[in-house]
A = this chain, B = another copy of it.
Amino acid sequence: MSESLLSSRNLAFELYEVLDAEALTQRERFAEHSRETFDAAIDTARSIAENLFAPHNRKNDEHEPEYVDGAAVLIPEVKPAVDAFLEAGFLNATREFDAGGMQLPNLLSQACFAHFQSANAATTSYPFLTMGAANLIEAFGSEEHKQRFLQPMIEGRFFGTMALTEPHAGSSLSDIRTRAEPAGDGTYRLKGNKIFISGGDHPLSENIVHMVLAKLPDAPPGVKGISLFIVPKFLVGDDGSLGQRNDVVLAGLFHKMGWRGTTSTALNFGDNGECVGYLVGKPHAGLSYMFQMMNEARIGVGMGAVMLGYAGYLYSLDYARQRPQGRQPDGKDPSSPQVAIVEHADVRRMLLTQKAYVEGAFDLGLYAARLFDDTQTLATEDERRIALELLDLLTPIVKSWPSEFCLKANELAIQILGGHGYTRDYPVEQYYRDNRLNPIHEGTHGIQSLDLLGRKVSMNGGAALKQLVKLIQGTCQQAGEYESLNALRQPLEQLLARLSSVTLALLGDLMSGKVNQALANSALYLKVFGHMVIGWRWLEQAIKAEQGLAAGNPADADFYKGKLQAARYFLTWEVPSCHHDLAILEARDDTCLGMQDAWF
């Protein structure tokens, strides 16, 4: 097996042919970087992922964390892997040199992270959660918070979590009940229960910093009454020394279908009334802070889904090339040798579908990461705002599309391996189980669809949507210069035109108060929008493939032809399938909305 985590040829194609990573080095922030430093970071990531993350992926699954004496115990392989990740500097990959970081573009950090996500989703979660919590404190915490909590996180001594969900209010954050009372000394005392807190306990770090959503006594009802608190597992003295255990208790562990290596915890805050918390930023502004970090978190989930899909694709491809079985339909002579199953048309279909899903979503994830860099490093505020709007619009797709379609890729990988794929002797069934989490956490599929149609497409007068339409039209126009791409361009143009008019109609309904009706079929809207975006990214890839074929060396021809065939698959097999969904949306079909509880 040549490469098991991702295709480095494809990664290079994305970075240097599609997304022009080298252009980033002309921006001041990345001026000390070059293709060489980028590639060095990627090599380091691949090496650590292959040598320390991948080898215990199955063991993580077979020996999930155990609850022993009030603490979560992990298998011993996790810590050395995470330590190597920290020592190589990946926790601070994008942080400035001065702050101990590598000052890499987000595009490059995502490219590095992809290797870990492919190798071992569960172990990767611990540093990822820490990055998310650290970023929150960096963006909204006080200087004291940064000194006391952020700095040890940057140093890898403290890890972090996000503590949002409560037992009675999963997606409905406005209904959380955790309370925070002022203690009179500037700190707060929290009381409440949280569930599904990933990384809520483990022995990987000196301390764990929980970022907790809770309500102050004077909180207005709903989401505008939610505040954000830092709640450490161990109290931290003014000199940074670790004090006594805070009143945070590990109430239990959840046992999941997959992603088993990551502790999923129930945490009780303040059972004894002594849970110390620190308010981050202003009162009642907690959810808005969370939302400002949401793009990063959701891109992370999306890329996680992509990489599980990618790992399954590569494994099943390798298997299909090695495994002889049966003969072609027109060559049934039983005395002829069996052919490798990659020769069967239906196996090719399953491989090509996986390739189209995985590499399409991989491109989109990296495109979003590149856009994230734009939001921070484009020259003018106006340009940065425009980039952010586009990123805001695309985020529900970046999160949800891979969660759905790269899971489907994992299903196909199992099918290619047949009975073997269904056994735990092969890795593909674990990828499938691990990936099933992604449509649920960090905003379910349904939440993403409401976010897209109910908020994102109309924000700022539809500015981001207009910008996206312009970008897609530009790609279509460019594709028109290639005779070979006409048949691929047309389905995308047709979808774009029809989706644009459906969008206008639905927004009209929303504005005229028919809210429930307009949002009733938002799941279909999300699917079609996602297919349009992935179709666009495939057309971009196809253009670059044509350019590569024209300019490249003959050794690369197969690679580019594969890109063109996958683009053809996605744009002619998948994209046109959306017209039926659009017809349902156009008709304001109320089949689901009109279904009554009593009729089930």
Contacts and interface: CB of A to CB of B under 8 A. Distances in A.
A174 B327 CA distance: 10
Given A171-B326, A425-B254, A348 B592 contact: yes
B599 A329 contact: no
A326 B172 contact: yes
B257 A423 contact: yes
Contact of A591 (B332, B569, B591): B569
Number of copies: 2
A471 interface: no
Contacts of A329: 450, 454, 515-516, 519
A551 interface: no
Which of A196, A324, A419 has its CB near the most chain B CB atoms (within 10 A)? A419
A351 B589 CA distance: 16
B580 A576 contact: yes
Interface string A500-531: 00000000000001011001111100000000
Interface in A221-274: 221-223, 254-258, 264
A281 interface: no
Interface stretch (A40-48, A334-342, A365-373, A472-480): A334-342
A419 B439 CA distance: 10
Given A562-B600, A577-B577, 15 more contacts: A170-B325, A175-B338, A222-B332, A256-B422, A256-B424, A257-B423, A257-B424, A342-B600, A346-B520, A351-B600, A558-B596, A561-B596, A562-B598, A572-B584, A579-B580
Interface string A342-359: 111111110110010000
A380 to B, nearest CB: 36
Nearest to A570: B591
A184 interface: no
Given A223-B334, A345-B520, A592-B345, A425 B255 contact: yes
Interface string A410-452: 0100110011111111000100110011011100111001100
Interface of A: 165, 168-172, 174-175, 195-196, 221-223, 254-258, 264, 317, 321, 324-330, 332-335, 338, 340, 342-349, 351-352, 355, 411, 414-415, 418-425, 429, 432-433, 436-437, 439-441, 444-446, 449-450, 454, 513, 515-516, 519-523, 558-559, 561-562, 565, 568-569, 572-573, 576-577, 579-581, 583-584, 589, 591-600
A513 B331 CA distance: 11
A595 B352 contact: yes
Most buried by B among A168, A222, A344: A344
A498 to B, nearest CB: 14
Given A171-B326, A425-B255, A573 B591 contact: yes
B334 A558 contact: no
Contacts of A595: 348, 351-352, 562, 565, 569
A583 B576 contact: yes
B415 A445 contact: yes
Contacts of A425: 254-255
12 contacts: A170-B420, A175-B326, A195-B419, A196-B419, A329-B516, A348-B595, A411-B436, A415-B445, A562-B596, A562-B600, A565-B594, A573-B591
A188 B292 CA distance: 74
Contacts of A419: 165, 170, 195-196, 254, 440-441
B334 A221 contact: yes
Contacts of A414: 436, 440
A597 B441 contact: no
Contacts of A423: 254-257, 264
A194 to B, nearest CB: 12
B325 A598 contact: no
Contacts of A440: 414-415, 418-419, 421-422
Nearest to A593: B345
A580 B583 CA distance: 13
